[in-house]
Amino acid sequence: MMDRLKMGMPGVSNELDNPTYETTTVIQKLE
């Protein structure tokens, strides 16, 4: 399943592999 996500939607896989990126973005928006 994860392999299919990485091959079909690299953008989504990047967010799944690096949750800290999305978290950092949310924190910046809150600030």
This prediction has a pTM of 0.25
Contact by Cβ (8 Å): 15, 21: yes
C-alpha 25/C-alpha 3 separation (Å) is: 25
Instruction: Give residue-wise pLDDT tens across range 1-31.
Output: 556 555 555 555 555 566 676 777 776 777 6
Residue 23 burial by Cβ neighbours in a 10 Å radius (0-12, 13-18, 19+):
exposed
Give whole-number Cα distances, 17 to 14, 30, 31, in Å.
Answer: 5, 23, 24
A 10 A CB-CB count for 28 gives: 8
Q: What is the pLDDT of residue 9?
A: 57
Q: What is the pLDDT of residue 28?
A: 73
Q: What is the pLDDT of residue 23?
A: 74
Q: What is the pLDDT of residue 30?
A: 75
